[in-house]
Amino acid sequence: MNIRPKHLVEGDTVGIVALGGPFAMEYLPEKLALLESLGLKVKFGETVTLSGKYLAGTDDERLNDLHNMFRDPEVKAIFNLRGGYGAARILDRIDYQLLTENPKIFWGFSDVTCFHVAFQEYSDLVTFHGPMLSSVGASELSDISKRMFQQLFTPFEIQYDENLTPLKTLIPGSVRGEITGGNLTRLVNTLGTKFEVDVKGKIVLLEDIGESMEAIDSMLNQLRLSRKLQEAAGFVIGNFTDINGGTLEEVWTLVEEYLKPLGKPAVAGFMIGHCEPNIAIPLGVEAILDADLRVLRILPGVEY
207 is catalytic: yes
Asked if 102 and 70 touch (Cβ cutoff 8 Å), the reply is yes
276 is catalytic: no
**Is-cis flag, bond preceding 282, omega within 30?**
no
Asked if 59 and 90 touch (Cβ cutoff 8 Å), the reply is yes
Core vs surface per residue 48-84: b (16+ CB within 10 A) or e:
bebeeeebbbeeebbbbbbbebbebeebbbbbbbbbb
The active-site residue, picked from 7, 61, 110, 178, is 110
- C-alpha distances in Å from residue 5, one per residue of 103, 108, 126, 284: 5, 15, 7, 12
256 is catalytic: no
Give the residue numbers marked as catalytic.
110, 207, 274
